Amino acid sequence: MIAAVSAAMLLAGCSDFLNRLPLTSPSSDTYLSTESQVLSYVNGLYSALPSLTQYGSGVRAADKNSDNIVSEKYDQRINGELSEFDGYAAWSSGYQNLRDVNYFLHFYQVPAEMENADVRSLYAEALFLRAWWHFDLLKKFGSIPVMDGFWDGNATVEGLQIPAAPRKEVALFILDDLDKAIDGLHRRNRFSGLRINKEAALVLAMNVSLYEGSWEKYHSGDVFAAEEADPGLFFGKVLSYGDILFDLMPVSEGLNTVGNDPFGALDGGEAYAHLFNQKDLSAVSEALFWKKYDVGMGVQHSLTTLLASGVVDNEAAAGITRSLVDAYLYDDGTFIDPSDPDFKDFNRTFAGRDRRLYETVMSDGHKFRSTTISRPMKVAEYVSGDSDEARRHNASLNPPRLLGDGNSRNLTGYHTALGVDTTYVSSSFWDTGLVIVRYAEALLAYAEAAEETGQCTDDVLSSTLKPLRERAGVLWKEPVPDPAFTDYGYPLTPVMQEIRRERRCELALQGFRLDDILRWRGHKVIAGKRGRGAYLGEDGILYKAFNMDDPAVREAFGHIPVDASGHIDPLRDRLPSGYGFVPDRDYLLPIPPEEVSLVESLEQNPNW
């Protein structure tokens, strides 16, 4: 029996993280008693936060777990392919990160007379991080054990018997940590957004409140319903936190626009793009909390190189979906009709649209990187013949990379433009910054919570959605029903349609889409469906941009799957029935079976 318990503990995520050495081991009774020691430890905690990897697409490819990107290496969760053991990594890493934070909070012993504002802000940063990792676990697993202190360091069976708290209590615990953090944190301008700050904590608190409120509302009648649900409580908290933030930083200061963009944006589209393709975001107030990369210091990533090669997902051939492209409005504020024959023309698809579409999805004339070493995309009809004029014209063509092998092949015709640094000339790693928390998230959360509580007045829309639209060069119009709007499985008001549209477009390719689908109980968006791409009929300009005089090209095109309407259908043969998302199971990840066995009061998530 003792041997069995020991074996279980070695396999269990909780025991794994409890047996790990802390980030820095205490060397004396005075450990974590000075500002320099506290700063060193808290700096180490930052390493677990989201980052761009040295050899990957990072957050730009995360949306392949939704209806925004389709990849040959599709997300197993949205296809219902996870096993009961597939929650282990998320559970283990989440609690490991929490243990590291709680170690700091437990051993922190700076004397009161030495607790200056900088030390108090560092302590508050740790509280922010404890909230961050609890929120991450809440989204993935629902009701979880709250790690509110430095649990049994010896990892005894008795010390691990921590019951899961109802998800509502978890959310309230997270918000309590954030309330304390907000009180102690410096403002963003103290460190130019490079450290956790008061404004970023307010936005995180809004996101936590919005997530829990909408989960409790939309899952009220299913197996994931929260105990003693009170969505109104959380929606109200979104508004309260937002009011505080907007007093600290009004919209005119918080959004990066043509008027305040430090990089000289010529229009709102460029001002938006500069949030994702610049190295130093210190002067961009919208980047509330961001990560700086520096090649000279060995802190670097390969995202820019990948984007310059046309890669959407570094793990496999992929492409942005037609569904995302169709979500963007015309610049006159009207929505498109996806069945309009004009959209058979790849170039006309982008004409007169929301500027964010051009900055998110590669279109004709957009650079993959500096034109000193790379041609911009050009989609025009290939000219047969051997004349000098034909050769010059054909040499200028650079259509989407539908042919070839490897992860640079595009499955849909839609490459990623978001994050492309058009000044980039290196063939190696690069160092564009990564925004972790930004101001626009608060505007979107506030508008949604206001609509959920019947308080989304014209004044609210004018101070939240309207500034985002206007930055994108889109005329603000009174919301009206869109008959072609994404079907979430239940009716939405015209205002809510526009709020969800704005959220999808503003936050595209930034890792938000799956969380939104899950909290809205929007499985109808993905279950039984699969992403489509651009029109590839022989009468379309995308087809005509390739040299069909070449037998090899004609043969390759014959292997590109298309649907009955002529649109690219990348997963037609691999997933003929669409994604196999299981609505009464896949909204939450499975708790590792070892944890369920070890902690007697811990119950497995529904239907795992």
Grade residue 156 by pLDDT with cuts at 50, 70 and 90: low
C-alpha distances in Å from residue 23, one per residue of 27, 40, 43, 288: 13, 10, 10, 26
Is-contact 234 167, C-beta < 8 A?
no
Phi/psi at 61 (nearest 5 deg)? -105, 0
CA-based torsion, 424, 425, 431, 436: positive or negative: positive
The predicted structure's pLDDT at residue 27: 53
Structure tokens at 379: 């989609």
Residue 17 — very low, low, confident or very high, per pLDDT cuts 50/70/90? very low
DSSP, collapsed to helix, strand or coil, labels residue 309 as coil
Confidence (pLDDT) at 155: 58
| Torsion angle, alpha carbons of 115, 121, 125, 131, to 10 | 90
DSSP 521-569: T-GGGTBT------B--TTSHHHHTS-TTSHHHHHHHTTS-B-TTSBB-
Q: Tell me which amino acid residue 182 is.
A: I
d(CA 278, CA 102) in angstroms, rounded, equals 35
Q: What does DSSP assign to residue 23?
A: S
State pTM to two decimals. Answer: 0.94
Residue 154 has a pLDDT of: 57
Q: For 50-59, write each residue's pLDDT tens digit.
A: 999 888 999 9
Cross-strand bridge partners of residue 144: 165
Is 257's pLDDT higher than 70? yes
Distance from the Cα of residue 209 to its chain's centroid: 17
Burial of 348 (0-12, 13-18, 19+ CB in 10 A): middle
Q: Give the orientation angle of helix 35-45 with respect to helix 117-141, to 10 degrees.
A: 20
Q: What is the pLDDT of residues 397-452, one digit of tens each?
A: 999 999 988 999 999 999 999 999 988 887 777 899 999 999 999 999 999 999 99
Ramachandran region, residue 481 (left: φ > 0; alpha: ψ -120 to 50; beta: rest): beta
Distance of CA 269 to the CA centre of its chain: 20
Average pLDDT over the chain reads 93
User: Which whole number is the average pLDDT over 131-144?
Assistant: 98
- If one compares 25 and 531, the residue with the highest pLDDT of the two is 531
Q: What is the pLDDT at residue 428?
A: 73
Tokens of 320: 């942005």
Residue 480 CA to chain centroid, in angstroms? 28
Instruction: Count Cα neighbours of 141 within 13 Å in the Cβ-side half-sphere.
Output: 31
Q: Is the dihedral of CA 86, 89, 94, 96 positive or negative?
A: positive
The two tokens of residue 254 are: 């918080």
Which whole-number Å values give the CA distances from 582 to 366, 524, 572, 579, in the listed order? Answer: 39, 11, 20, 9
* DSSP label of 164: P
Looking at residue 71, the DSSP 8-state letter turns out to be E
**CB 35, CB 119: distance < 8 Å:** yes
C-alpha 322/C-alpha 68 separation (Å) is 8
Q: Which pLDDT tens digit goes with each residue over 489-522?
A: 999 999 999 999 999 999 999 999 999 999 999 9
By DSSP bridging, strand 318-320 and strand 69-71 are: antiparallel
